[in-house]
């Protein structure tokens, strides 16, 4: 079975629904409150595991109740948590206020994620045994670079989601094979507003780029080949949270299984299209038989 390693964040999302978000100094009564396991690392690990891979998660949770639930959530989706450390202090949290217009404001407190600033003993070994390493930018950059460089040393494909968007150091780009920004991240990284131009500019930095374009689909560029435009299936979206993580997780599994690139992109698009038709981030992620069924439908 394909083995994917994810090095990244776990967060408890604390989501408050209000009619109108409070202004500075104001108190308002909210409508609903939910605690939802998240973090891009954890979400991508769950997406890849449900898409059919053996997945190991490298990261950290705090020694609090959230940490227990974050670990349980990963294990429930079949993710190996042997390399997910429990550290002294709080787990990462994202404090999200969503108003009636769907607009949100978010405060992220890294907590345990902030301690993942290096590779721990055993991490390089598990990376070396993988078919691909999935990275995002919600843990300290130093660890992301160390992970990518370890993967390169062992000939393991590195897939990077540059989120939250920030300047990428040359040593990280040099160790990245596939970069998967969404449209906003591609613009932030390149200053180009046209997705094709942004993807082309990113291709100067890494060998392969996929820019995800929401309901429009995705755009794939690799050096020396024609660009591929993959339209997204037309579906009624209920909640697009986690669509990007579902897409990246499924795409990485498909590529690691050596599916041809166009087929891998279509399969990932099918997975993401299923996820947007359901509420939640990781909760909405499909299992492999559903993805296969959507592809043949």
Catalytic residue numbers, as ranges: 245
Asked if 190 touches ligand ATP (CB under 6 A), the answer is: no
Take residue 216 and report the two structure tokens written for it: 């429009």
Coil, strand or helix at 188: helix
Query: Distance between CA atoms of 58 and 118, rounded to whole angstroms?
Result: 11
Counting Cβ atoms within 10 Å, is residue 103 exposed (0-12), middle (13-18) or buried (19+)?
Answer: exposed
Query: Distance between CA atoms of 7 and 17, rounded to whole angstroms?
Result: 31
- Of 42, 212, 282, 294, the residue at the interface with ligand ATP (CB under 6 A) is 212
Asked if 165 touches ligand ATP (CB under 6 A), the answer is: no
Is 91 labelled a binding residue? no
In the shown chain, the binding pattern of residues 276 to 295 toward ligand ATP, with x for contact by CB under 6 A and - for none, equals: x-------------------
Asked if 182 touches ligand ATP (CB under 6 A), the answer is: yes
CB of 156 to ligand ATP, least distance (A): 23
Q: Do the Cβ atoms of 150 and 127 come closer than 8 Å?
A: yes
Is 204 labelled a binding residue? no
- Of 18, 128, 173, 215, the residue at the interface with ligand ATP (CB under 6 A) is 215
| Chain residue at closest Cβ approach to ligand ATP | 244
Window 99-138: residues binding ligand ATP (CB under 6 A):
none
What distances in angstroms separate CA 46 from CA 151, 194, 226, 256, one per listed residue?
Answer: 21, 32, 32, 16
- Of 64, 177, 208, 245, the residue at the interface with ligand ATP (CB under 6 A) is 245
Take residue 87 and report the two structure tokens written for it: 């550290």
Asked if 189 touches ligand ATP (CB under 6 A), the answer is: no
Asked if 214 touches ligand ATP (CB under 6 A), the answer is: yes
Q: Which is nearer to ligand ATP, 22 or 233 (CB)?
A: 233
- 3-class secondary structure for 131-175? CEEEECCCCCHHHHHHHHHHHHHCCCEEEECCCCCCCCCHHHHHC
CB of 102 to ligand ATP, least distance (A): 12
CB of 171 to ligand ATP, least distance (A): 25
* Span near ligand ATP by CB under 6 A; candidates 51-59, 67-75, 103-111, 229-237: 229-237
Cis peptide before 164 (omega within 30 of 0): yes
Is 75 labelled a binding residue? no
What distances in angstroms separate CA 19 from CA 9, 29, 163, one per listed residue?
Answer: 30, 9, 29
* Interface positions with ligand ATP (CB under 6 A): 182, 212-215, 217-218, 232-233, 235, 237, 240-245, 247, 269, 272-273, 276
């Amino acid at each position: 079975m394909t083995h994917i390693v994810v090095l990244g964040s776990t967060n408890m999302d604390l989501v408050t629904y209000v009619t109108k978000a409070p202004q500075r100094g104001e108190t308002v009564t909210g409508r609903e409150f939910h605690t939802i396991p998240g973090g891009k690392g954890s979400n991508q690990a769950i997406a890849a595991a449900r898409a059919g891979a053996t997945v190991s998660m490298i990261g950290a949770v705090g020694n609090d109740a959230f940490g227990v639930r974050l670990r349980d959530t990963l294990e429930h989706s079949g993710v190996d948590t042997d390399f997910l450390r429990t550290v002294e202090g709080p787990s990462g949290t994202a404090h999200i206020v969503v108003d009636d217009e769907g607009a949100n404001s978010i405060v992220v407190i890294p907590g345990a994620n902030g301690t993942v600033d290096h590779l721990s003993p055993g991490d390089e070994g598990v990376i070396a045994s993988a078919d691909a390493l999935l990275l995002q930018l919600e843990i300290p950059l130093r660890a992301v670079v160390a992970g990518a460089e370890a993967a390169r040393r062992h000939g393991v494909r590195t897939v990077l989601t540059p989120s939250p968007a920030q300047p990428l150091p040359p040593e990280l780009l040099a160790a990245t094979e596939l970069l998967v920004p969404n449209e906003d991240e591609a613009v932030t990284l390149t200053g180009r507003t046209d997705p094709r131009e942004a993807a082309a500019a990113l291709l100067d930095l890494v060998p392969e780029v996929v820019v995800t374009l929401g309901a429009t689909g995705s755009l794939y560029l690799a050096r020396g080949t024609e660009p591929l435009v993959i339209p997204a299936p037309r579906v009624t979206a209920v909640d697009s949270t986690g669509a990007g993580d579902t897409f990246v997780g499924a795409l990485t599994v498909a590529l690691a299984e050596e599916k041809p690139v166009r087929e891998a992109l279509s399969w990932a698009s099918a997975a993401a299209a299923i996820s947007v038709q359901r509420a939640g981030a990781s909760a909405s992620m499909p299992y492999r038989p559903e993805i296969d069924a959507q592809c043949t439908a």
